[in-house]
Each structure stands twice: as structure tokens, then as C-alpha cells.
């Protein structure tokens, strides 16, 4: 901005404030801000009740001690005081938590359940408050925590819930990672603990492989690490496949062979797309023993699969019935 533009701008500002309407607006705004300031000061000096979140911290925990069930993260505290003081607490509590001294309640046991009554909680809170502040209520009014001095165990993880796929899909596999977790706690509790389950979880109408983070169902007095596992539900789509399987006679004596018409049958089945290429005729067996045929009154054979691989369903044989003969051959 050059000097000419600056002078023009200053002239416009001067002209604005010299107008009667502009002066009246300016005076109104000044009194408005002054009134708002007086109202705010008066309001902040009045007495109010306010619920605040006060952070909690367990301090002076010695090395080698594991707190298995910790204190709650916050206290919900209802306070009564002047508004300006309550407003200050909202800022002060963020950096000044209520500290519970571990050493003051340590009895030297390998495992312990420590309970702090309401009076003790209130005493700790009062160290952060002004003398004019009155405590109306504290939630929870009693604090507790568990600790152990290193007793731990590796425990298997088990999924608890229900998994259901969409039509034309199926659940190929379901696994939790990790499949076991480390648990700290009282030795008696650990001795009886063989498995930890996830919180009940339902996965419904799945049409693709799904990965979920699922918390484990904890127990009071136990610390679980990690306390969340990754559940992977591998979902595959069904597809149809056909293979030609030979009809084979077994346990036939020397000089005798089985002849069927036709000599093979078409086996159709449903299989997941992931296993489609793996499945072939060698995975199925259409066999019949000599003992089953030797006393046959007719030459009709009803086919049955002796071997069906895992992972296939809706198996059909075509034709289901064939003609046969036992042929004698020269050895």
C-alpha cells in the first residue's frame, strides 16, 4: 500500500467515526462489553455445584510388582464453591491427579487386594482443593486394586461367539492371534485357569474374509497381556466341480477281474474356490469288494463312494447304478 492509498484509508476511517450513527454504535458496543464483563465477574463469584473428572494415579509401585486390576482412570467428583474456583479446577486437575501411594498400603504379600475406603479417598482429594471448596459426592466412593509379585502363566485363547456366512459362502477357517496370552495373578487363580475366552461376539452374513480386534473377557484380580486378540474369519465362496472316477474292484482272487459298464462315473461336488484346483479324481474312491458281489443275484451295482475328501459337500454320482460282471482271466 503506497502513501496515497494509506491516506485515503485513514480519511475513510476518520470519516466513519465522525458520523453520528457511528459514534452511537461505538458507545453502545463499549457499554455492551463493560456490561458483559460485570455480569461475568458477578456470575463467577456466585456459588455453584459442578461435577468434575479428577484423574487418578497409583504411584511408587516397586519394580517387579504387577498391578493386575488397576484403579479407575478418573473420579467423578461433585464440588461446591464459587464459579471462578470451579473453573480453575477444570484446568488444574488435568496436571494434578489424585495420587494413591502404593507403598503406604503394601503389606509385603506376594498377592494382595487393597481396598481404600471413602474417608481415605476424600482425604487424598482434599489435598488438591481450597479450604472454601465442599465435596458433595465422590464416585466411586471406594477404590480397590490388586497386585502380584510376578506370578504369571501362559494361557490359551478361545473364541466365544457365533460366525455365520452369507448364502453360497462358507467359513474356511477361524483363528485367534495370538493363540495364547500371558496372565498375572494369584497363584491359586492361575493354577485353575486353563483357557481365556473372548467377549461374546457375533459375526453374521459374512461374504468376505473378516478381521476383527476382539477384547478378552477379563477376571477381577488378573492382568492379561495382550488383552485384545485379532480374530480372522476366512470366508470362501462355493463352486461346482466334476471329476471322472474309475470303478475299481478290490480283494478279487487271482484269475478274476471286475468289469463295469461304464468303467467310470462322474462325481460332481461343491468345493471352496481356494481348494478347487487341489481336488482331483484321486481324492475319491469308487470301490467294491469281491465279497460284496460274489452272491449278487443280478448284475446291477449301486455305486458308493468309499473316500470323500474333507471340505467338499453335496456330492453326487452319475450314474448311480451300473451293470457289472466278474470276468475270469488266464493267469
Does 11 reside within a domain? Answer: no
Q: For helices 20-44 and 3-18, give the axis angle rounded to 10 degrees.
A: 80
Task: Report the chain's mean pLDDT, rounded to a whole number.
Answer: 86
**Residue 270: CATH number of its domain:** 2.170.120.30
Answer whether residue 16 shows pLDDT above 60. Answer: no
| pLDDT at 54 > cutoff 70 | yes
- The per-residue pLDDT for 329 is 78
- Number of other CB atoms surrounding residue 257 within 10 Å: 12
Q: In CATH, what number is assigned to the domain containing residue 174?
A: 2.170.120.40
**How would residue 224 be classed by pLDDT, with cut points 50, 70 and 90?**
very high
Specify if 291 maps to a domain: yes
Whether the pLDDT of residue 17 is over 60: the answer is no
Please state the φ and ψ torsions of residue 150, each to the nearest 5 degrees: 100, -5
Do residues 54 and 144 share a domain? yes
Domain final residue, candidates 148, 165, 199: 148
- Specify whether 263 is located in the same domain as 301: yes
Exposure class string for 111-133: b at 16+ Cβ within 10 A, else e = bbebebeeeebeebbeebbeeeb
Number of domains in the chain: 3
More confident residue, 7 or 170: 170
pLDDT at 204: 95
pLDDT tens digits for range 228-246: 999 999 999 999 999 999 9
Domain boundary among 131, 148, 165: 148
DSSP 4-25: HHHHHHHHHHHHHHHSHHHHHH
pTM, entire model: 0.68
Among the candidates 219, 237, 255, a domain finishes at 237
pLDDT of residue 82: 84
CB contact at 8 A, 75 and 93: no
Once rounded to an integer, what is the mean pLDDT over residues 19-29?
A: 57
Tell me the residue range of the domain where 251 lies. 238-328
Amino acid at each position: 500500500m503506497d502513501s496515497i492509498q494509506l491516506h485515503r484509508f485513514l480519511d475513510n476511517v476518520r470519516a466513519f467515526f465522525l458520523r453520528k450513527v457511528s459514534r452511537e454504535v461505538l458507545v453502545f458496543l463499549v457499554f455492551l462489553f463493560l456490561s458483559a464483563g460485570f455480569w461475568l465477574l458477578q456470575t463467577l463469584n456466585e456459588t455453584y455445584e459442578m461435577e468434575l473428572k479428577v484423574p487418578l494415579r497409583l504411584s511408587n509401585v516397586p519394580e517387579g510388582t504387577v498391578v493386575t486390576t488397576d484403579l479407575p482412570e478418573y473420579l467423578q467428583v461433585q464440588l461446591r464453591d464459587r464459579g471462578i474456583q470451579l473453573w480453575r479446577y477444570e484446568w488444574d486437575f488435568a496436571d494434578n491427579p489424585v495420587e494413591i501411594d502404593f507403598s503406604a498400603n503394601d503389606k509385603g504379600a506376594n498377592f494382595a487386594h487393597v481396598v481404600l475406603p471413602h474417608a481415605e479417598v476424600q482425604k487424598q482429594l482434599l489435598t488438591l482443593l481450597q479450604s472454601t471448596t465442599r465435596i458433595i459426592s465422590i464416585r466411586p466412593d471406594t477404590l480397590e486394586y490388586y497386585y502380584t509379585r510376578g506370578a504369571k502363566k501362559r494361557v490359551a485363547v478361545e473364541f466365544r461367539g457365533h460366525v455365520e456366512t452369507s448364502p453360497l459362502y462358507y467359513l474356511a477357517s477361524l483363528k485367534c492371534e495370538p493363540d495364547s496370552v500371558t496372565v498375572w495373578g494369584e497363584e491359586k487363580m492361575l493354577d485353575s485357569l486353563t483357557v481365556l475366552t473372548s467377549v461374546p461376539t457375533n459375526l453374521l452374513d459374512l461374504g468376505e474374509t473378516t478381521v476383527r480386534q476382539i477384547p478378552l473377557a477379563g477376571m477381577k484380580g488378573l492382568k492379561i497381556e495382550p488383552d485384545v486378540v485379532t480374530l480372522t474369519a476366512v470366508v470362501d465362496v462355493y463352486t461346482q466341480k466334476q471329476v471322472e472316477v474309475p470303478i475299481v474292484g478290490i480283494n478279487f482272487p487271482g484269475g478274476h477281474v471286475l468289469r463295469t459298464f461304464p468303467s467310470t462315473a462322474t462325481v460332481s461336488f461343491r468345493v471352496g474356490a481356494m481348494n478347487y484346483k487341489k481336488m482331483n479324481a484321486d481324492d475319491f474312491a469308487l470301490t467294491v469288494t469281491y465279497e460284496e458281489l460274489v452272491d449278487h443275484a443280478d448284475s446291477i451295482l449301486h455305486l458308493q463312494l468309499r473316500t470323500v475328501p474333507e471340505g467338499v459337500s453335496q456330492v453326487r454320482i452319475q450314474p448311480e447304478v451300473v451293470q457289472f460282471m466278474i470276468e475270469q482271466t488266464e493267469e
